[in-house]
């Protein structure tokens, strides 16, 4: 949910498509030039970092009663960052969110249900014909689904609709912004993506001058240090408020009890080098407590290998592997001590995390349409692996 809202606010970045023939639709800008794209921020600078009103409700975001939507972290970020009111809709009444349901229908009818690996609308849908085997046979990858969704949304935004006087949504937006001066409210202050995926926790500084242990912080089973903290023995036993990026635990920002900023703390060892999220850290620690993984060496790589083996027979492991592979694309060489947090510390609240969220990989329907998907025979296929055993350990020197 938070990533969805972040992508709706942060200026859009065009994708580089790998599916042959797939491209963005065109749109005529005010100067008369024809430009490829399909998202408001591609054409209107006024929509950069714009926050939204929902239909006729000022500054209100309407959603259903899904667990992810009702999460305290989601509600807090919407209210604190976007300054929006949230309004969960009536239970079992999709008509209340007709516009959203229509967009879902467009994605299904024009995209997912036409692919060979479609899961249909239900387990009994006749279009559902061995979706997992079809996806493997025709080479339908998660990246292809992302590219397809990108173009479907762009085409929706550039297609005339009766609901906006037979204009396309982008033409209606241009009319309102450039001709009527109806400018959207924009996110104020410093604008950083990390603001959407942060949490605050309180930890006490550990250490002992007698035993020679320098001051440090323990967070989720990992020690965090900094040169400044090493020289701050007076903080031992005192609480620090930590601002945590849920998507990247390599570095966290610390604040003193009086609210002033102390500085960044970096995780020890490989934890401070390899990008990993809260979910990955939590999963690794759970497996380590069951003695399935060992924490010496590179536990993140060990967990990745564990998921690769389990993915052969476990759907949940496949979903987590997809999530992790996407997250590992973050560069390891970036300066993790760089300030990534932009909002005021006084706006932060504490909350807990839910480990139940999973990526649901959509499927693809009519075999006649498979030529639009990449079926490159040279693409490296998933290697055969032996059946996973109950215990998996790895030791890597670094």
- Beta strand ranges found along the chain (DSSP E): 26-28, 34-36, 60-63, 85-88, 198-204, 206-208, 213-219, 222-225, 239-245, 251-255, 261-267
In the block, residue with structure tokens 């290697």: 383
| Between residues 12 and 352, the one the model is more confident about | 12
Q: What one-character-per-residue DSSP string does 185-197 give?
A: PB--S---GGGGG
The dihedrals phi and psi of 202, each to the nearest 5 degrees, come to -115, 130
> Shortest CA distance to 44 belongs to which of 132, 179, 196, 174?
174
Task: Label residue 125 by pLDDT band (50, 70, 90).
Answer: confident
Q: What one-character-per-residue DSSP string does 143-157 give?
A: HHHHHHHHHHHHHHH
The answer to whether 168 touches 157, Cβ cutoff 8 Å, is yes
- CB within 8 A of 90, min separation 6: which ones? 96
Alpha-carbon distance values, 298 to 271, 272, 303 (Å) = 8, 11, 9
Question: Which of the residue ranges 79-93, 222-236, 270-284 would you say has the lowest mean pLDDT?
Answer: 79-93
Tell me the average pLDDT across 274-300: 91
Please tell me the predicted confidence (pLDDT) of residue 92.
63
> Shortest CA distance to 30 belongs to which of 165, 181, 171, 182?
171
Please tell me the predicted confidence (pLDDT) of residue 372.
31
Which structure tokens are listed for 389?
A: 């055993």
For residues 239, 244, 250, 253, the Cα torsion angle rounded to the nearest 10 degrees is -50
Report which secondary-structure segment, H or E, holds 310.
Answer: helix 299-310
Tell me the average pLDDT across 243-272: 92
For residues 162, 164, 170, 175, the Cα torsion angle rounded to the nearest 10 degrees is 140
| Between residues 197 and 224, the one the model is more confident about | 224
- CB within 8 A of 334, min separation 6: which ones? none
Q: State how far the Cα of 365 lies from the Cα of 116, in Å rounded to an integer.
A: 4
| Between residues 325 and 96, the one the model is more confident about | 325
Residue 124 has pLDDT above 70, yes or no: yes
| Between residues 191 and 29, the one the model is more confident about | 29
Which structure tokens are listed for 18?
A: 């790998």
In the block, residue with structure tokens 């215990």: 391
Question: Which of the residue ranges 125-139, 171-185, 251-265, 319-333 would you say has the lowest mean pLDDT?
Answer: 319-333
Domains of the chain: 2-191 (3.30.420), 194-341 (no CATH)
The answer to whether 270 touches 298, Cβ cutoff 8 Å, is yes
Please tell me the predicted confidence (pLDDT) of residue 66.
58
In this structure, the strands spanning 60-63 and 85-88 are parallel
**Predicted confidence (pLDDT) per residue in 171-223, tens digit:** 999 999 988 988 888 887 656 554 677 888 899 999 988 888 999 999 999 99
For the chain, the average pLDDT equals: 76
Which structure tokens are listed for 263?
A: 């500085």
For residue 228, the SS3 value is helix
């Amino acid at each position: 949910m938070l990533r969805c809202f972040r992508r709706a606010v942060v200026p859009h970045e065009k994708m580089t498509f790998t599916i042959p023939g797939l491209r963005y639709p065109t749109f005529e800008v005010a100067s008369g030039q024809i430009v490829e794209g399909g998202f408001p921020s591609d054409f209107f600078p006024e929509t950069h970092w714009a926050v939204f009103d929902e239909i006729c409700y000022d500054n209100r975001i309407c959603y259903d009663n899904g667990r992810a939507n009702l999460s305290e972290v989601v509600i807090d970020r919407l209210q604190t960052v976007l300054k929006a009111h949230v309004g969960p809709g009536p239970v079992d009444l999709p008509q209340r969110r007709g516009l959203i349901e229509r967009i879902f229908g467009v994605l299904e009818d024009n995209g997912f249900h036409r692919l060979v690996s479609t899961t249909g609308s239900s387990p009994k849908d006749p279009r559902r014909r061995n979706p997992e085997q079809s996806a493997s046979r025709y080479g339908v990858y998660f990246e292809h689904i992302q590219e397809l969704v990108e173009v479907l949304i762009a085409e929706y935004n550039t297609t005339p609709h009766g609901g906006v006087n037979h204009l396309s949504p982008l033409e209606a937006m241009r009319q309102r912004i450039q001709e009527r001066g109806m400018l959207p409210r924009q996110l104020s202050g410093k604008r950083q993506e990390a603001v959407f995926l942060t949490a605050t926790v309180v930890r006490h500084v550990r250490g002992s001058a007698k035993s020679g242990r320098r001051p440090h912080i323990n967070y989720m089973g990992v020690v965090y240090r900094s040169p400044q903290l090493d020289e701050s023995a007076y903080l031992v036993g005192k609480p620090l408020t930590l601002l945590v990026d849920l998507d990247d635990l390599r570095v966290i920002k610390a604040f003193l009890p009086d609210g002033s900023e102390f500085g960044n703390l970096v995780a020890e060892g490989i934890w401070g080098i390899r990008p990993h999220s809260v979910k990955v850290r939590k999963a690794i620690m759970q497996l380590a407590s069951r003695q399935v993984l060992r924490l010496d060496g590179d536990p993140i790589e060990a967990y990745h290998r564990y998921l690769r083996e389990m993915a052969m027979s476990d759907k949940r492991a496949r979903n987590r592997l997809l999530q992790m592979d996407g997250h590992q694309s973050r560069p390891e060489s970036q300066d993790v001590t760089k300030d990534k947090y932009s909002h005021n510390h006084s706006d932060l609240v504490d909350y807990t995390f839910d480990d139940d969220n999973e990526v649901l990989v959509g499927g693809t329907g009519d075999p006649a349409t498979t030529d639009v998907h990449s079926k490159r025979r040279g693409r490296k296929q998933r290697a055969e692996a032996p059946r996973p055993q109950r215990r998996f350990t790895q030791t890597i020197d670094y």
